[in-house]
Amino acid sequence: MRKPQPSALAALTSLPRLLALVALPLVCAIFVDAAPARADLVVLVDGDVMKVAGFQANGDQAELTFPSGGRMTMPIDRVDRVVDDEVVPEPAKKAVEVVADALKSALVPLHFEEAQAKVPDGPYGAMIFEAAKRHKLNPQVVAALIRTESAGNPHAVSNKGARGLMQVMPATAERFGVHKESLLDPRSNLEAGVTYLSWLIEQFPNDLSKVLAAYNAGEGAVWRYNGIPPYHETREYVKRIFGRLGITATVAGL
């Protein structure tokens, strides 16, 4: 019987590796195709909601890309907000968390209290204190929200169109009497954001978690879910602000 030539043996030996190299990209492609695409929910000022694959604010215009591949441009004034559509499972609440929900708002007062109110740290601390006092809000809550929204950068502009210290959308500013062109001015931005925050506190009295969730995801989403919406982005947002205020995630029930 003829013995295989060395070259033939080498080819046979390397065949499994060759097949593996060929198959690997195919397997990766299958998993990539199978991975769910990220999507956002674009909430319009008239209450309509659109699911998009991409959103980009360019000045006074917003460019939307739909999962089907279609595109659309609209005035940024029509957009109330853009939130992450990634939904997290709703965990069953433990008894301690139910009790914590009733107590957590008492841990940090929402309203301005002369005896306890302090000027927040940072270059805009005095301005934040002044706006919070004028609207009867706890300045520390406003400051924690600002640190989370913009890290205190008055010139911050997100790809979703939110602007300034409190990352106010142009439509929200106009809704509360502030011109969108002035949103990069710290004082005007604070006036718009704090006015909106004060209005949310009226809608969700003594419930800090709902107020913060509404600031991020919109009051409509909080009303619809009767609590923090099951959006990963919104839950992390509330958790970060609670952390800045000294409320742990366990106590907050998040």
Catalytic annotation present for 130 = no
Choosing from 90, 97, 149, 236, which is the catalytic residue? 149
Question: How far, in Å, CA of 55 to CA of 61, rounded?
Answer: 11
- How far, CA to CA in Å, does 141 sit from each of 136, 194, 228? 12, 10, 18
Nearest residue to 197 via CA among 121, 126, 116, 138:
138
Distance set, CA 21 to CA 7, 11, 25, 26, 33 (Å): 20, 15, 7, 9, 19
Using CA atoms, how far residue 27 sits from 14, 33, 36, 211, in Å, is 20, 10, 16, 45
Which residues are tagged catalytic?
Answer: 149
